[in-house]
Chain A
Amino acid sequence: MRQLRAWLLRFKGLFGKDARDRDFAEELESHLQMHIDDNIRAGMSPQEARRVAVMKLGGVDQTKEAYRDRATIPFFESVVQDLRFTFRQLRKNPAFTVTAIAMVTLGIGASVAIFAFVDAALIKPLPYQDPSRLLFVTEKTPELPSANLSYPDYLDWKKLNRVFDSMDAYTQRSYTLSTSAGMQMVDGARVSDGFFSTLGVNPLLGRNFYAGEDLPEALRTVILSYASWQKRFGGKQEIIGQSITLTEIPYTIVGVLPQNFHFAPVENAEFWTTLHATSECDQRRSCRYLSAIARLKNGMSRDAALADVTRIAKDLETQYLDSNRNIGATVSPLSDVIVGDVKPILLLLLGGAGLLLLIACVNVASLLLVRSETRRRELAVRRALGATRARLIRQFVIEGLVLVAAGTVVGLVLSHWAMQILIRLIPTEMMAGMPYLNDLGLNPRVLIFALTLAVFATALFSLSPIFRLTNADVREGMAEGTRGTAGRVWTRIGSKLVILELTTAMVLLVGAGLLGKSFYRLLQVDPGFDTTHLITMSVRAPVSAYDKDEQALALQREIVDQVKTLPGVTSVALTRQLPLDFNGNTDWIRFVGRAYNGEHNDVNVRGVSSDYFATLQARLLRGRTFTDSEDITKPKVVVINQTLANKYYPGEDPIGQRFGDLELNPRSIKEIVGVVDDIREGPLDSEIWPGYYYPINQHPNVGYSVVVRTSRREESLIPTVADAIRRIDSRITISSQTTMTARVNQGPTVYLRRSSTWLVGGFAAVALLLGVVGLYGVIAYSVTQRTREIGVRIALGAQHSTVYRLILKEAGALALAGIVIGTGCAILAASLMRKLLFGTPPWDVTTLVCVAVVLGACALLASFLPARRAASVDPISALRAE
């Protein structure tokens, strides 16, 4: 206790030391006076009395020093001195200070901001119990690496497996909900009874689903998400036990999920209901719509799990060949499924930010080197006056620390802003799939990361001048003044740093170039229709009001007719599934009049209205499209896409051919009446699947998307169209009102590529700037060092062009080294990000050449300025200066 008190007082003593020194000087003076008085009284002369008193004291200055050492903490005191000295130095050199701090800020700010995203997505544990034991379990087909499970398959897997503690299924589902703002579409999910128990999540309020609550005979119950509870029910405790109506069916609210719960595969599901497998699809083994999660038994490996479910899939295949032919099994960590496509992009961005930080640090380090060079004399003098090596090293460490500390603090502020901006740039639909990004911020893990970077930067900054601080420097530094051989030494180290910078810049530039080219290639992809001037929205009418086919059909026609009359609308169509959405929702087809050996010809199926192809401006290749009169009463017809025609009717005319389901059930037989050029049903970067389109009038429905082509600006027409549809029946729910252009641009495929291209492009631009500035610094310094030599050359008759060549050759060698090494590293780095490239190989020659030319040109420009200064050296003054 007492010791601590003493230390604190001594620490306090670091400040306000002038007053203390004065006080003690007074005390000593009074001490001496009393002693002198005594001595005089004892008969000494005044001079003698003073001399004896001082001698007895043991020296005034020695006493003061001993006193000061006790009053403060000597080590700290000298650190404070060094700090003061550093601040003075930095203030004296504001250009250097600002540049250095700005670079550190930029590097740390960018890295920390990106790391915060990486942390939120990849490092922070999922809000489940023991998440490492959770697996995503599902089927796979030769075409699809992960395909959905059917309800009967799920039940068999659950029953037959020997590797899971529990296994549960879920599927995404939308409901209509009556709200004060009219009928609304809300997101939800259907899950099996043990879903939350498998995750290890307990409701915040109320109870979990009990065993058997997902069976058809159980009462219908729902668990709310925290957000939904807050938003729709005002966070009231009394809602447990209340009843709500979802898509015309009453449910009892039994629980509310915790606030931090999220499950990205079903996005922002608000209403969690149980499976209640009652529909025809639920009973059919070939109707696959479920995904499953499972908790591994303790100590069980993922490989063992895969082997076990593969065994089950094999057994089911032999048992149910019709529905399960070629159906395998796959397992993957649940975290992979939740983070999904974002992982490689985040790692790429983190790599980019890291390189940027590296180049910024190297730049500051070389600035510090230049400074240490100009301070050789100061250091030599301090050394000669007795400063220890350790003390000089500490001076550099403290300088580095001050720069990095300032840069880190500003960098953290910058990264905080950057995160806010970046997160706001993410479209809402995409955010829904990334709920883990919601609590993005400067949490302890991110701060530790920032601290690590700061330590690394400090080490780099203080080490580079220390490296130069050899013993020989003292004599040399004193003797040589400020220039001469030592400058050469610096140029050697400095030029290595510049090569490193140029290499890094090259890697980033190539990365940005390849991403940019991939993005361009992606936008060049022909979607098979004209995406401009299209409005889309999904519409759902209550089944109870339109449960007869005739009623539903009438509503379909009414919607098309009403919207068509709106001013600015050129054409209207309905589709069960919008293009560019996803591949899937497939059917197995069997061709009439061909041998059949049980194979599964999996094709996309889309129900569309008669004007669909005209509205999209898709290209009809053969035959015809549908007419509005082709409805339930007429024979079944389909339009197939080009890929289906090529795959199943190579060298044949498909028009007039027929196919049906696997049993060739007479009611399933359809006749091909047209072939349309491929429309991309999946994202732009996905494969085109064979597919067919049937007239929606032959299977009337109450849920579909409306597609409107307009001659006007699309956005302005959206509310008009929605109003017109609502006027037909106020119980109709309308959602996802947007334009096709927005769907393309905001869709994950395009968005992720565009944003990563911009970010890496930004990093690359800054890196280019820093690298070129670094090169300029080295060359300019070298010219200063060689002024005398150049002066001599000019005096001896060297032409300007010779001097230019001399300097540019030096710069060119550095730039070339940077470009050559950079090209190698860039190809290596690009192969790591191959997954993110589209239609562009990692060694894309055009990109490499372009980047090399740009970098070379910038380097040339950066070295031209010092070269010109060198050429204009006045030999007389250059020689006199020495």
Chain B
Amino acid sequence: MSTRNEIWQGTLALMILKTLDTLGPLHGYGIARRIEQTSGDRLSLNYGTLYPSLLKLEQEGWIVSEWGVSENNRKAKYYKLTRAGRKQLEREAKEWNQTTAIVARFFEPVEGQS
């Protein structure tokens, strides 16, 4: 359970960083919606779980936050990727690709056996 949680937390952080990288500064609600949409609504998350992750990323210095005004003229807190955050995203994306590639190899059909 806890290991799955950790993996989930790590991937969630990666998704947040990627979202901010693609869309620029965005509020928590927007990030949550975007993640759901990107997953083709296959991923259904409690939006609340996003906030501790955002706080953690902020504490680690990958993102910064600042109050602003939303497209509907609502006051909202906007999160923005920092330069260090962008580098971190690159690193993590590379790692993720490697990991998935390795894991994927295990599930490739083995040739020469039948």
Contact = CB atoms under 8 A, between A and B. Distances in A.
Q: Are A and B associated in one complex?
A: yes
Interface of A: 2-3, 5-6, 9-10, 24, 26-28, 30-31, 33-35, 37-38, 56-59, 62-63, 66-67, 69-71
Question: Which secondary structure characterizes the binding site on chain B?
Answer: helix
A42 B93 CA distance: 35
A391 B46 CA distance: 31
B76 interface: yes
A34 B28 CA distance: 10
A59 B46 CA distance: 9
B27 interface: yes
B109 interface: no
Nearest to B28: A31
Contact of B74 (A5, A34, A62, A66): A34
B59 interface: yes
Contacts of A57: 46-48
A80 B61 CA distance: 26
A63 B77 CA distance: 16
B49 A56 contact: no
A2 B60 contact: yes
Nearest to A24: B51
B74 A37 contact: yes
Given A2-B60, A24-B51, A31-B47, 13 more contacts: A10-B59, A27-B76, A30-B74, A30-B76, A31-B76, A33-B74, A34-B27, A34-B72, A56-B46, A57-B47, A58-B47, A66-B52, A67-B51
Interface of B: 27-30, 33, 46-49, 51-52, 55-56, 59-61, 70, 72, 74-77
A527 B28 CA distance: 96
12 contacts: A2-B60, A5-B60, A6-B56, A6-B60, A27-B51, A27-B77, A34-B70, A35-B29, A63-B51, A67-B51, A69-B52, A70-B59
B75 A70 contact: no
Max count, chain A CB within 10 A of own CB: residue among B30, B48, B74: B48
Contact of A70 (B28, B33, B52, B77): B52
B51 A56 contact: no
Q: Which 3 A-B pairs have the closest CB atoms?
A: A58-B46, A63-B48, A58-B48
Given A27-B77, A34-B74, A6 B59 contact: yes
Contacts of A26: 75, 77
Contacts of B60: 2-3, 5-6
Contacts of A37: 72, 74
B51 A34 contact: no
A24 B28 CA distance: 11
A10 to B, nearest CB: 7
B55 A71 contact: yes
Nearest to A2: B60
A66 B47 contact: no
A30 B75 contact: yes
B8 to A, nearest CB: 14
Contacts of A30: 27, 29, 70, 74-77
B85 to A, nearest CB: 11
Contacts of B59: 5-6, 9-10, 70
A59 B56 contact: no
